Structure 1
């Protein structure tokens, strides 16, 4: 299991336990870093992300009723959209998250265990939705598959790599490479394309604060007490996890690093009628 998958599952589980919605995406902070840095602020920003996503869906010409949620995570976005009157089908390769989705979505909601590149169905949708999932997929394949299944448009709320930081396997590409592939295939045209990086990075500011100022001191006090009361258990803990625990209080600068290496964008596209190449 890849570390990124573990991180996503853990994020979704925390969101499920603390806030009841199970969002796996980052928070959206249109007003920047909040005065109070808390898990509750992240939860509220995750909800704001969903609201911004729904707003973007509403701009697709012709109106949207049927959505294919690609990389649907725990089904939290799908549930919120269903509550707004949309018919939503989900596809994701994560069996763990799909089980969480099936438990929370209305009976009969399609949830398919599959990579989008290999997804097959006779169904068609108004919209393909990528909420922090597009970067996992080869962008050329993602656009070709979207052209097969989306009759009206595509909404992408996700990050791209900065020039020189892209991966070489077709995933995590640059924004420029994405636009070039959209033009090459010709199945969609971009209606809006907004840089949301500054509204997303406060997520990492809060994560860093909670890690360094709340979690790390608690862990250090626990380790000290364990060494005093149960030295052999403390030895075993330190042997297995000591180096990892030592890193908890270190500043990572993840917010700055994310902004240097990524640009987070909200993109709405409409179908042109052309066939994908």
Structure 2
């Protein structure tokens, strides 16, 4: 990687984790489960805790040796260790690896893409908590099968593109993941038994509305500053706009305007294009 290249992903993660830590006391960026909760920023922490509790309800009896694939900042790993499990975490960036070592110091942390990580089995459980969508469909599960014990499990909690997904060339479509039909077809070819599958799309969708509300607050503040500069510091404003045009392409500027100033990324939009599944799979006896 070019050391001079601006790493917007790391900066975005840093900001997002810092905000999450300020708001909830935890470095979680995953969806929450909003059943029975008022949809507001003040309940983000409670919604995320409800998500984790539901995920952990699917754990086999332990103690387990768990591989947390794409383990974020290590918050899930920390909770798993507190329950008596042994945890190894795979994360793709130095920044996330550092946060994992701080938040879950007892965990073994591998800084690598899962596809490239050198791992030593055998694990009782491979966990994908909103990370499965970032791994090529033909690589995630097959690699897990080589790392699992004969009766080992895979848990997948993630978004998939629903069959009603309608891509928009102008506006970014919220959510993501592998097309659900392709995933099911691939899953049928693997030596796995489906233990359980639950669609929680409507339960997690309000997370999108809360996130959009936050971005709109930021956008409103930036708009107010811009309007004030236009009146009192027009030359400074012109310079700022010139820098933005130099740094961001027209497409990126349009996407940024969408995130900050529009309300196209909504729970309704999410549910129209995505399906969020909790899947528990078990390696089939050979």
Distance 2:231 2:115 in 1: 54
Structure 2 counterparts to residues 1-277 of structure 1, below 5 A: 7-31=12-36, 34-35=37-38, 37-38=40-41, 40-57=42-59, 60=60, 63-107=62-106, 109-151=107-149, 152-163=152-163, 165=165, 172-186=177-191, 188-212=192-216, 214-241=217-244, 247=258, 248-274=260-286
Q: CA deviation at 1:49?
A: 1.3
Q: CA deviation at 1:239?
A: 3.0
Distance 1:208 1:180 in 2: 34
Distance 2:268 2:8 in 1: 22
- The C-alpha deviation readout for 1:108-167, integer Å capped at 9, x for no partner, is x21101111222222321000000000111222111111111222011110111237599
2:92 touches 2:113 (CA, 8 Å); kept in 1?
A: yes
- The C-alpha deviation readout for 1:3-51, integer Å capped at 9, x for no partner, is 66665554333213332321121122123xx43522x222221222111
Secondary structure of 2:90's aligned partner: strand
The answer for unaligned runs of 5 or more in structure 2 is 1-5, 168-175, 246-252
- The C-alpha deviation readout for 1:246-270, integer Å capped at 9, x for no partner, is 5522221432222222100001112
Q: Using a 3 Å threshold, how does the CA distance of structure 1 residues 264 and 8 change in structure 2: closer, same or farther?
A: farther
- The C-alpha deviation readout for 1:220-267, integer Å capped at 9, x for no partner, is 222233344433322222333486675522221432222222100001
Q: Using a 3 Å threshold, how does the CA distance of structure 1 residues 137 and 246 change in structure 2: closer, same or farther?
A: closer
The answer for unaligned runs of 5 or more in structure 1 is none
Distance 2:209 2:261 in 1: 14
TM-score normalized by the length of structure 2 = 0.81
- The C-alpha deviation readout for 1:157-208, integer Å capped at 9, x for no partner, is 10111237599xxx9323332232222121x211110001001110111122
Distance 2:20 2:148 in 1: 30
Distance 1:224 1:37 in 2: 28
Secondary structure of 1:56's aligned partner: coil
TM-score normalized by the length of structure 1 = 0.83
Q: Using a 3 Å threshold, how does the CA distance of structure 1 residues 8 and 192 change in structure 2: closer, same or farther?
A: farther
Distance 1:4 1:160 in 2: 22
